[in-house]
Amino acid sequence: MAATILDGRKIADEIKNEIAVEVAALKDAGKRAPHLAAILVGDDGASHTYVNNKIKSCKKVGFEYTLLNFPETISEAKLMTEIDRINADDDIDGVIVQLPLPDHISAAKVTDRILPHKDVDGFTNENYGRITSKKPGLLPATPFGIVELLKRYNVPMEGKHCVMVGNSRTVGAPMSSIMSYHENATVTVCHIYTEDLAKHTKQADILIVATGKPALIKGDMVKDGVAVVDVGITRLPSNNERGYTLSGDVDFEEVSKKASFITPVPGGVGPMTIASLLLNTLKAATTASTITTKI
């Protein structure tokens, strides 16, 4: 039986439509639309693409948005001052800083400068720490999006064995905490240095992979019926018109033959991350949201 594709684009569009309805209701009630500010440093092409996709999504749902594009030479102190200015602006509900930043700027210091209630990426230390609370703040966008995707496809999580491959602060670590504390899954955390990785991945009912290692997970590393979420996306050289192909951390062709559910790359986790940023911005703007999320 073929695996069900966890279509992030489809679910993200559903969420955006739900948000658009809520934003229209806010405006009808005489309230302003949520406002997202995006900070971009430098002229990296990929970063511009990511930010532009977020701005397009803001337009689609009716959010206000502000794009602040600073030169790569901006000092860390100056960037901090700009964040302070946004923090003090009551008309801006959410702030994102597009990563990576230039080497002379500490991403950790900059992201933690954002007020927690405006931190729609969920990267500040306070929001990170509150993941294990029964009343979490703004959740990291990618893990939030993954859980929402699984929920909307009715993938069982409670009591299931979730194996997380990857322990980064942005995905792996918060993802494992959310699955354990909020979804009541039994969680094993692995990474690229785990000895005999296949021994662990074969036990997974839900396998989430975020390592940046193309095609790390092969078909013989999973059991039949596993639900697979592939967070990785890497450009590999190719002779096609674009000059590259995109590869996930999972060998889709092999693993999809055994999985019950699987995300595509692209079109799986990426769109859900943006949808989660929008949900977090809506939450930051109003606590009266009628959109049902499970966390």
Catalytic residues, by residue number, are 54, 98, 121
| Sequence-separated (6 or more) residues with CB below 8 Å from residue 147 | 157, 178, 179, 182, 183, 294, 295
| Sequence-separated (6 or more) residues with CB below 8 Å from residue 121 | 96, 97, 111, 138, 140, 141, 277, 280
Distance (Å, rounded) from C-alpha 104 to C-alpha 237?
Answer: 30
Q: Quick one: which of 161, 172, 262, 175 has its CA closest to 205?
A: 161
Distance (Å, rounded) from C-alpha 18 to C-alpha 231?
Answer: 24
Buried b vs exposed e over 180-217: b needs ≥16 C-beta within 10 Å? Answer: bbbbebebbbbeeebeebeebbeebbbbbbbbebbbbb
| Sequence-separated (6 or more) residues with CB below 8 Å from residue 271 | 8, 9, 11, 12, 13
